[in-house]
Chains A and B, each alone.
Chain A
Amino acid sequence: MKLDALRARFGTALGEPATFRGETTLTVDRDSLVALCECLRDDEPLAFDFLADLCGVDRRPAAPRFEVVYHLYSVRHGHRLRVKVALGEEDPVIDSVTGVWETADWHERECFDLFGIRFRNHPDLRRILLPDDFEGHPLRKDFPLEGMDKP
């Protein structure tokens, strides 16, 4: 994979690519996320046309607390890439990638539902798995396993 060109273009917004067990992870600032995703999708040698998965991670008590993780796959080349964005606890907002990959719609709704991470410019950001009147976001680490209503 040729990630050097991206590094030249995005500069310090892009972190050093990390490799673990043969998988490459790229970290990016949240302001450059959508531009990066468009590049990853459209650049011929990369061609990440398939967003396999999108999810949140809560690293409490570490800071920054949240991560949004994108798993990309290229149908043409058969390679994979993981993109991560770190988000602080006080302002867990990030741009939606539904304009880049349509499939992100339900994934982002799920991430909002379970983590309370908000996606800017999402066409229909509301809960998906839990009832609309549910309080809290259960995959946050401070949400008790037994639920909120237990003593």
Chain B
Amino acid sequence: MSAETLSLNLGPQHPSTHGVLRVVLELDGETVVDARPDIGFLHRGIEKLAENRTYHQVIVLTDRLDYLAALSNNLAYVLAVEKLMDVEVPRRACYVRAALAELQRIASHLFWLGTHAHDLGAMTPLFYALREREALMDIFETLSGSRLTPSFLRIGGLAADIDAGFVESVRTFTDTFQARVDEYETLLTENPIWKHRTRGVGVLDAGQCIRLGISGPMLRSAGLPLDLRRAQPYSCYDEFHFEIPTGEAGDVYDRYLVRIREMRESARIARQAVDGLPEGPWTAAGSPAVFPAKGELKRSIAGLIRHFGLVMEGMKPPAGEVYHAVESPRGELGFYIVSDGGPRPLRLKVRPPSFVNLQGLVKMIRGRLLADVVAVIGAVDIVLAEVDR
């Protein structure tokens, strides 16, 4: 090794860092000797903002964390508040939530697949992946009026009931999706260039992942089938049949395989959820945490008062603290809420999987080539809005 190394700034404005991530690389020729990730460029103080809003108002903030999987954030947050308030959510709402969370996982993985492959020089998968993602965005937009920030979940249930059109569009999507994934796989899975760029790159074994707190597809690609949907089921996940795909090598290629197979499983879950959709209420009407139905405001003074109270003051949860985590597309996404009995959280902490998973970056790229850095960053699948909050 020569005595002199070259410092190179990768990011914060560089397409391969998937957002405003800056990594200061120490290079010896093309070999990475050391690396210092620099984050925080997208810090907006969301946790501070949440302390100054009522519990209902926080829902829209959660969309702005991991904006590629906003519904997963909505879900993790409302589940935590429902635990705090001890609200029983109707099964119909749970099924719709599960379907939405799985469609969101597919949308997120598709975006990851397209951009990750594009980083490594494969142009075509981007167009295919975004075509299917667009179909999902249409479903979200029809449902909620918004593509990236649906805020469709509410404490106690949903913002509105779903209609037959939603069920039909999910069926249409899942009917064709497995064949679409086959198409992506013909482009990459046995592609020798793809394998060369990804196999044996960025390896972390299961023990290292656990020590670093890494969860989600990165952990499963190292062979450990830990998935919170199975380990600590929420939102009726124990009623669906699905596999937990795992890899062996814990490298970039196995992370690719795991996410590809996860998309197939997610489509199966979403299909089961809409096919088995229970009839009944879609929100826990009557709970003090839930807004009364619109019609009730016109008919009963009690309903009007409750609505007014929830808007002007907010609800009053008991003093205490809860933590609830879900399996987001990136791993364990948790919300820790401390309540002092007031209408606003005393403290709201997000456990962001992107932030924790990114901590493994330096271990994965030290001693590797510069070109591998791009492959590794892509395979971590970070969203900087969630890393920085």
Is A145 an interface position by the 8 A CB rule?
Answer: yes
**How far is it, in angstroms, between the C-alpha of A107 and the C-alpha of B212 when the chains are bound?**
11
Chain B window 325-339, contacts with chain A (Cβ cutoff 8 Å), 1 for yes, 0 for no: 100000010101010
Interface status of B153 (Cβ within 8 A of chain A): no
Main secondary structure of the interface of B (DSSP, over half): mixed
| Bound CA span A75–B227, Å | 10
CB distance from B245 to the nearest CB of A (A): 18
B356/A75 in contact, CB under 8 A: no
Instruction: Given A25-B321, A129-B39, decide whether A75 and B210 contact each other with a Cβ distance below 8 A.
Output: yes
State whether A57 and B347 are in contact (beta carbons under 8 Å apart), knowing that A23-B323, A103-B213, A130-B43 are contacts in the complex: yes
* Cβ 8 A contact of A103, one of B212, B320, B325: B212
* Interface positions of B from 43 to 85, Cβ below 8 Å from A: 43, 45, 47-49, 52, 83-84
Mark each residue of chain B from 152 to 185: 1 if its CB lies under 8 Å from any CB of chain A, else 0: 0000000000000000000000000000000000
Instruction: Check A71 against B231 for contact (C-beta < 8 Å).
Output: no
- Cβ contact within 8 Å between A129 and B40: yes
Interface residue? A65 (CB, 8 A): no
Interface string of A27-54 (1 = CB under 8 A from B): 0000000000000000000000111110
With A and B bound together, what is the CA distance between A20 and B341 in angstroms? Answer: 14
Number of interface residues of B (CB under 8 A): 38
Beta-carbon nearest neighbor of B320 in chain A: A20
Give chain A nearest CB distance to B80 CB in angstroms: 10
* Shortest distance between the CB of B36 and any CB in chain A (Å): 10
Given contacts A49-B210, A71-B334, A129-B40, contact A21 B231 (CB under 8 A): no
What separation, in Å, do the CA atoms of A149 and B325 have in the docked complex? Answer: 36
Residues of A within 8 A of B213 (CB): 50-52, 101-103
In the assembled complex, A116 has its CB within 8 A of some CB on chain B: no
A95 contacts the other chain (CB 8 A): no
Contact between A129 and B388, CB atoms less than 8 A apart: yes
Enumerate chain B residues within 8 angstroms of A125, measured Cβ to Cβ.
Answer: none
How near does chain B come to A107, taking the closest CB pair, in angstroms? 8
Given A20-B321, A128-B39, A130-B43: A103 and B334 within 8 A (CB)?
A: no
* Chain A: CB-nearest residue to B347: A57
Q: Do A21 and B86 have beta carbons less than 8 Å apart? A: yes
Closest B residue to A110 by CB, please name it.
B355
A→B interface (CB under 8 Å): 20-21, 23, 25, 49-53, 55, 57-59, 69, 71, 75, 78, 80, 82, 101-103, 105-107, 114, 127-131, 138-139, 143, 145
Give chain B's interface residues, CB within 8 Å of chain A: 39-40, 43, 45, 47-49, 52, 83-84, 86, 210-214, 224, 226, 231-232, 320-323, 325, 332, 334, 336, 338, 346-347, 349, 351, 355-356, 359, 388-389
